[in-house]
Amino acid sequence: MNSPVKIWRNQGKIASLLGKKGVIISWTMVRVPPAGFSDQAPYPVVLVQLEGKRIMAQLVDPPVGGQVGKKGLIGMKVITVIRRVVQPSTEGVIPYGIKVKPLW
Amino acid sequence: MKIYIIGASTTKFGELWGISPRTLAREAVGGALTDAGIKPAAVEALFVGNMLSGMLGGQEHLGAFFADELGLGVPAFKIEGACASGGLAIHAAVAGILSGQYKTVAVLGVEKMTDHKPEDVATALMGAGSEEERLAGATFPGLYAMLARAHMAKFGTSEEQLAAVAAKNHFHATLNPNAQFHNALTVEQVMRSSKIADPLKLLDCSPISDGASAVILTAKSKGQRVKSKDVEIVASAVATDTLGLAQRESLTELKATKEAAKKAYKQAGIEPKDVDMAEVHDCFTIAEVLAMEDLGFYEKGKAAKAIASGDTTLGKSKKLVVNPSGGLKGCGHPVGATGVKQVVELVEQLRGTAGKRQVSGVNVGLAHNVGGSGATAVVHILKRA
Amino acid sequence: MVGIVSYGTYIPQYRINVSDIARAWKKEPSEVVGALGVAEKSVPGTDEDAVTIALEAGIRAIGGIRERGEIEALFVGSESHPYAVNPTSTIVGELLGIGNNYLAADLEFACKAGTAGMQAIAGLIASGHIRYGLAIGADTAQSKPHDVLEYTSAAAGAAFLLGGNKGSKGDKGVIAELFAYTSYSSDTPDFWRRDGIRYPSHAGRFTGEPAYFAHVMGAARLIMEKTKITPETVDYCVFHMPNGKFPRDVAKRLGFTPEQLAPSLTVDHIGNPYSASAMLGLAAVLDIAKPGQKIFMVSYGSGAGSDGFLWEATAALRQFQTVRQKDNKTVREQMEKKTYVDYVEYLKQTHKI
């Protein structure tokens, strides 16, 4: 996704998903990352039920002041934010995209 | 008009460093032609199943590429549906024959994955998923891990039960000279292997492999001589579901499998209980559990326990043996080849030539091939002629 | 009048103890903490940068504003803009959905790029040229490992929506009026970073008297001359906070009491987020100030310069504070929401390994 044109074309899609609240319905911890994600590994990838839409995104920023419950991350309330997605190349455009973090 | 597989052959699967895709194809197709007892000139079309040749090797146009390599100057097509490419190629071949345009065709499934870094292969395989999944940093183990977690949360399926799938398929693989792995695995060994995407571990995942398989299909009309080694294709069905996991209706089933199976059973005029052996798509251990339920062999939530008890293991099973070839986990998973290899295994089982891994009393065999995290499913049902 | 209509801040969740950094370099932790007056600092996530931080602060500033399209200026001041050429301000403006009718500009002036933006936008509003403008200071400050700056360079963002009192329907008006502003500049090379070079360099103790103190006190005196105010006639003071000592020292020299300075001292909790430092201090004060109270503010940017401001809280601030407290995004709440990382994780998250 390092085509500047594609990044530009997807701005509206990203902007429309920003600041939305949701609940985690399944998750995994990716320990063997694909290319461009090694600097972030290991990281949780989660399925989130937003209002009227479901998305898959990386979960960032650990929940503060509490261990993850017996149900794991399932049921955790989250909110969508914008962060860097794939590690950019030295010269290319920086891709920003939607991730989720615990809601507090 | 009935469609028969008259020739079938597979190469060994594994890390075949010294063997090129061209050599793999020549071996598989040559073997199938010999098995069929026909000359290359009898082949009227070539269908090639492959996923990664373009992305990893820079080579597209595989219909022409292999037609050229095999000396078959006939209409040639590459069919791609991620890990279902092989099954889809067979389905396309069937459609080509049913249309009346071709009578005898060759189907080649081929994949060369070990030429490239595992990280690059993992990234290329995510081409089978959605852009949202790629941007989330998901990997295929990650997607199936999320399915596993949902299944475990809803039905209480355990990690040990998943591990039992890998152990079973490795046991079958020890009996298959063409399999990638010939070591038996215990549940403990699987549980101790390193985590790839929680809860799936290294030994829950099928390997990166090279290999090729081929079948020769032909139409025979009523009255035409059918050989005892001919195997009839009585069903070939495909179904599609949403590309991304996030858009699925349910996380505890693959709707595409259910729909393809339903269509296939109807085409064949049979029910799940009539199936004697099946080759199902165990790209990850959870995938076999889901397949057992979605294909109608077990009630939702009941398959894992049954598999772990040996209900589908060769020698223990009273009814249905699953993945006698070793499945994707034990036999290997050169992505585009798997769907064709599954059918080759069915042919050998139905003919009674499967040697040490022969399932006794096989009359009906089912092959189940999935693309991506369940966006495509292909089901073939074969019967003894 | 011109003033602040709304503001928002963002502090990344991660912290590292200064003593852990000291230990990595075999320095005596208590000596380092004592010398700098900083015990811990904020650390950005691996996937955060000045753009994402500026955006978060911006979202929190304009969240309740219905007239987004009427924001006609958006300036982002930072020392860590991700691009040397390609504006942070338009990426932020696009994702904030403020339309296309706005002047976007990226500013750079060490730690005072954000406050420079506030002054420029104040001018555009006062002249009647625009109705609203958003000034943001955001940084993921860089520092060379083992350099003394490593103990204090932090990450945060602060965004101020400025406007005039003649708001359109639904605009609750100004919550802090800008009474006066001025700036004091000179060519003083105390801290710099060459184009294409990753880490900044500095001139050691030269960054003290001739740099920080000269300019902060220079701007402070200009404001006092302009407005005739004295420390006794204001309620709070805010200064740029490169460490725990300098703001306390300059406040004392100018005649302010520790109580007047205390609410602004975000450095004690999160270190120095460069362009967001003084702006974050101002936000921390506004989170607790009462209507009618006056706030004296002077930022500092190496190279060098200081922007001075005099603010007065209005009656509308109270309602704003109530809303802000309800959504848990006051400066204090964010400073308290933290997760500690060790030195290795710190190096990974700041892309040094």
Q: Which helix or strand (DSSP H or E) is residue B371 part of? A: strand B364-371
Pairing state between β B2-10 and A96-102: unpaired
Q: Is the pLDDT of residue C167 over 60?
A: no
What confidence tier does C265 reach under pLDDT thresholds 50, 70, 90?
very high
Domain identity same for B249 and B376:
yes
Q: Is the pLDDT of residue B34 over 90?
A: yes
What confidence tier does C166 reach under pLDDT thresholds 50, 70, 90?
low
Q: Is the pLDDT of residue C67 over 90?
A: no
Q: What's the angle, vertex CA C219, arms to CA C218 and CA C220, rounded to 5? A: 90
Q: pLDDT tens-digit profile of B42-66?
A: 999 999 999 999 999 999 999 999 9
Number of domains present in the structure of chain A: 1
Q: Is the pLDDT of residue B336 over 80?
A: yes
Q: pLDDT tens-digit profile of A1-55?
A: 578 999 999 898 999 999 999 999 999 999 999 988 988 889 999 999 999 999 9
pLDDT of residue A42: 93
Q: Is the pLDDT of residue C164 over 90?
A: no
Using the beta-carbon criterion (under 8 Å), do A25 and B251 form an inter-chain contact?
yes
pLDDT of residue C169: 45
Q: Which residue segment(s) compose the domain that A75 sits in? A: 4-102
Q: Per the residue annotation, which of B151, B172, B281, B333 is the catalytic one?
A: B333
Domain identity same for B78 and B200:
no
Pick from C47, C86, C328: CB nearest A83? C47
DSSP 8-state code for residue B284: B
Q: Which residue segment(s) compose the domain that B32 sits in? A: 2-116+208-220
Boundary residue ending a domain (B220, B244, B270): B220
In a domain, B108, yes or no: yes
Chain A residues whose C-beta sits inside 8 Å of any chain B C-beta? 1, 25-38, 40, 43, 45, 47, 54-58, 71-72, 74, 85-86, 95, 97-99
- Closest to B34 in 3D by CA, of B224, B326, B229, B226: B229
For residue A64, which residues of chain C lie inside 8 Å, CB to CB?
13, 337-339
Pick from B119, B138, B196: CB nearest A45? B138
Report how far residue C298's alpha carbon sits from residue C238's, in angstroms, rounded to the nearest whole number. Answer: 6
pLDDT of residue C134: 97
Q: Taking residues B115-143, what's their average pLDDT?
A: 95
CATH code, domain with B35 = 3.40.47.10
Q: Which helix or strand (DSSP H or E) is residue B293 part of? A: helix B285-294
Contact indicator for B215, B20 with CB cutoff of 8 Å: no
Domain identity same for B216 and B330:
no
Q: Per the residue annotation, which of C79, C150, C177, C312 is the catalytic one?
A: C79
Domain identity same for B110 and B169:
no
CATH code, domain with A79 = 2.40.50.840
Number of domains present in the structure of chain B: 2
Domain identity same for B254 and B214:
no
Interface predicted TM-score (ipTM) of this complex, two decimals: 0.92
pTM score of the predicted model = 0.91
Report how far residue C348's alpha carbon sits from residue C30's, in angstroms, rounded to the nearest whole number. Answer: 25
CA of A43 to nearest chain C CA: how many angstroms apart? 11
pLDDT of residue C230: 96
Whether residue C79 lies in the annotated active site: yes
Domain identity same for B163 and B104:
no
Question: Which chains have at least 3 CB atom pairs separated by less than 8 Å from chain B?
Answer: A
Boundary residue ending a domain (B182, B197, B220): B220
pLDDT of residue B383: 97
Domain identity same for B105 and B158:
no
Name, in order, each residue with C-beta under 8 angstroms of C182's C-beta and a sequence gap of 6 or more: C219, C222, C223, C226, C307, C308
Residue with tokens 């070939």: B236
pLDDT of residue A8: 92
Q: Taking residues C108-123, what's their average pLDDT?
A: 96
Q: pLDDT tens-digit profile of B249-287?
A: 999 999 999 999 999 999 999 999 999 999 999 999 999
Q: Is the pLDDT of residue A66 over 70?
A: no
Question: From the CB of residue B296, how many other CB atoms can be counted at a distance below 10 Å?
Answer: 16
Q: pLDDT tens-digit profile of C83-107?
A: 999 999 999 999 999 999 999 999 9
Domain identity same for B31 and B112:
yes
Q: Reduced to 3 states, what is the DSSP secondary structure of residue B303?
A: helix
Chain A residues whose C-beta sits inside 8 Å of any chain C C-beta? 11, 14-15, 18-19, 39-40, 60-62, 64, 81-85, 93-94, 96, 99, 104
pLDDT of residue A68: 58
Q: pLDDT tens-digit profile of B286-325?
A: 999 999 999 999 999 999 999 999 999 999 988 899 999 9
More confident residue, A72 or C247: C247
pLDDT of residue B12: 98
Domain identity same for B61 and B186:
no
Q: Is the pLDDT of residue A69 over 90?
A: no
Chain C residues whose C-beta sits inside 8 Å of any chain A C-beta? 13, 45-49, 51-52, 55-56, 59, 63, 82-83, 86, 91, 94-95, 97, 328, 337-339, 348, 351
B325 residue type, one letter: S
Chain A residue closest in CA terms to B125: A34
pLDDT of residue A67: 40
C182 residue type, one letter: T
Structure tokens of C207?
Answer: 């960054």
Domain identity same for B272 and B358:
yes
Q: Name the average pLDDT for chain C.
A: 94
Domain identity same for B178 and B31:
no
CA distances from A48 to A59, A79, A100, C344 (A): 10, 10, 9, 31
Strand-pair partners of B143: none
Domains of chain C as residue ranges with CATH: 2-173+317-349 (3.40.47.10), 176-315 (3.40.47.10)
**Range of lowest pLDDT (B216-230, C53-67, C280-294):** C53-67
Long-range contacts of B20-23 (CB under 8 A, 24+ apart): B20/B112, B21/B53, B21/B57, B21/B110, B21/B112, B21/B212, B22/B69
In a domain, B147, yes or no: no
Name, in order, each residue with C-beta under 8 angstroms of B225's C-beta and a sequence gap of 6 or more: none
CA of B258 to nearest chain A CA: how many angstroms apart? 22
Report how far residue B29's alpha carbon sits from residue B64's, in angstroms, rounded to the nearest whole number. Answer: 15
Report how far residue B300's alpha carbon sits from residue B296's, in angstroms, rounded to the nearest whole number. Answer: 9
Q: Per the residue annotation, which of B83, B205, B283, B331 is the catalytic one?
A: B83
Q: Name the average pLDDT for chain B.
A: 97
pLDDT of residue B385: 84
**What is chain A's length?**
104
In a domain, B306, yes or no: yes
For residue A99, which residues of chain C lie inside 8 Å, CB to CB?
47
Chain B residue closest in CA terms to A32: B196
Instruction: Give the number of A-C residue pairs with CB atoms closer than 8 Å.
Output: 54
Domain identity same for B212 and B251:
no
In a domain, B126, yes or no: no
Whether residue B283 lies in the annotated active site: no
pLDDT of residue C120: 97
- Closest to B239 in 3D by CA, of B256, B252, B217: B256
Q: Is the pLDDT of residue C46 over 80?
A: yes
Q: Is the pLDDT of residue C288 over 80?
A: yes
